[in-house]
Structure 1
Amino acid sequence: MTVVLHELSKTYEATAGAVTALDGVTVQFPESTFTAIMGPSGSGKSTLLHCSAGLEPSTSGMVTVDGTVLGELGGDALTRFRRDRIGFVFQDLNLVSSLTAAQNVALPVRLAGRRADDTAVTAALAEVGLADRARHRPHELSGGQQQRVAIARALFARPAVVFADEPTGALDKATSGQVLSLMRRLVDEHGRTIVLVTHDPVAAAVADRVLLLVDGRVTEELTGADAAAVSDRMTMLERSC
């Protein structure tokens, strides 16, 4: 298994008392699979992603990525592990405007003090269909092309898993479809593992399965559901909350 969550819980302290964002979540994200996570607002989707990716610690439970228990890593070791074994794609792309597409892809490696192999950078851009845009800066690319550069950057270190938080949220329908098709191909043709947090049933339906979160708990798993079925189930959940 690429990612295993065991009894994962996360509690925040607030003025009105403790708030439980995750409540004993146990789930696996196997290698070469595409999982979407959906749920009503405040259900714990982003917290689940952040804890799974080691961006914030859980209150209890365990996260194992590619055989490594994240809670057993110190600060520097966790930073290195995230950089080398975990990829991130967010709605806010965080591309550096003064750098070319190729330089943006190589940036995490350069920040780590390592030289980025030019051939590998070109291959990463080719994997997302942008080999001919290597010298273009973000303002010279469309929104979908910018998102594909962000995906190439996330894939560059060949991570065990890529976590994506609403990566199509700011894109139009056509461009969103292109990015989702790319993510689907990365799983099917290149064996990538992707975990996607989304509010969009169309995006979720591209995945192999959809996990539904309510009040910090996984309440249901959908497989083989189309966008309409996912949307109907989400509507029922939201009405019951």
Structure 2
Amino acid sequence: MADEAVRMRHVTRRYGTGTAAVTALDDVTLDFGHGTFTAVMGPSGSGKSTLLQCASGLDRPTSGSVAVGGTELTGLDETRLTLLRRDRIGFVFQAFNLLPSLTAEQNVGLPLRLAGHRPPPARVAEALRQVGLGSRARHRPAELSGGQQQRVALARALITRPQVLFGDEPTGALDSVTSREVLTLLRDMVHQEGRTTVMVTHDPVAAGYADRVVFLVDGRLDGELVGASSPQIAAHMAKLEALPC
């Protein structure tokens, strides 16, 4: 197994061509170690979501290399890249993206069904138990609170037992109390189960649950904090946002 769960080397991502080209990521070199919880922060337009998309194989860098679990993504064709994302990477987004006509257990088992497998009932039940929803398996999304829906989305991401879990503002649509519950769940999965997690967030309180916070400004890395409190993270963000454009 590679030393890092995700390895990025000199990753640049440009959109457009000529004078209209926009550089969203600019020569980023970054590692995410196994069993770590990393938050990615930065001012609006700093390249946070682009970094997550390139690191997870949802987008291809213009140049540079990305490896997940020692597998280099750059040379994979679309079929092999899709299989790697399906089998080794989990995603949780701000939008829950649950199918309203399916129960919680059916939503959780959906990735396995799409892969052509019958979801083992015990495995689905275990995923729901992990997120504290073992008694809600037969409930549909409309019968669940926002926080419970996000927990179902998290269980769905975990059903394939991914090496890395990526979250893009996973608590952005939740109230503060429910947000803390989901963030505690994410942190516990990292520390108790060794689940590598990378989370993009704009919220210093959310970032305070992570072991490490890396900062982006204009597509470039601009330092990191390890073991920082939410007030320390907020103060650092305030300095970045005060920088001249």
TM-score of the superposed pair, with normalisation by structure 1: 0.98
**Correspondence for 1:174:** 177
Return the letter of the residue paired with 2:197. Answer: I
**Correspondence for 1:12:** 15
Residues 1:43 and 2:46 aligned together:
yes
**Correspondence for 1:143:** 146
What is the CA distance between 1:140 and its match in structure 2?
Answer: 0.7
Q: Which runs of 5 or more residues in structure 1 are unaligned?
A: none
Return the letter of the residue paired with 1:122. Answer: A
**Correspondence for 1:105:** 108
TM-score of the superposed pair, with normalisation by structure 2: 0.96
Residues 128-167 of structure 1: pairs in structure 2 closer than 5 A? 128-167=131-170
Secondary structure at 2:45's aligned position in 1?
Answer: coil
* Equivalent-residue separation in structure 2 for 1:182 and 1:174 (angstroms): 13
What is the CA distance between 1:112 and its match in structure 2?
Answer: 1.3
CA RMSD of aligned residues (A): 1.0
**Correspondence for 1:116:** 119
* Equivalent-residue separation in structure 2 for 1:238 and 1:64 (angstroms): 31
Residues 1:186 and 2:222 aligned together:
no
What is the CA distance between 1:115 and its match in structure 2?
Answer: 1.1
Secondary structure at 1:72's aligned position in 2?
Answer: coil
* Displacement over 4 Å in runs of 4+: none
* Equivalent-residue separation in structure 1 for 2:13 and 2:39 (angstroms): 20
* Equivalent-residue separation in structure 2 for 1:120 and 1:52 (angstroms): 28
Return the letter of the residue paired with 1:61. Answer: G
Which of 191, 205, 222 is the aligned partner of 1:202? 205
Which of 37, 47, 55 is the aligned partner of 1:52? 55
Which of 102, 125, 128 is the aligned partner of 1:125? 128
Q: Deviations over 1:162-196 (max 9, x none)?
A: 00000111110000010000001111111101000
Return the letter of the residue paired with 1:56. Answer: D
What is the CA distance between 1:93 and its match in structure 2?
Answer: 1.1
Return the letter of the residue paired with 2:26. Answer: D
What is the CA distance between 1:16 and its match in structure 2?
Answer: 5.0
Deviates more, 1:207-216 or 1:8-17: 8-17
Q: Which runs of 5 or more residues in structure 2 are unaligned?
A: none
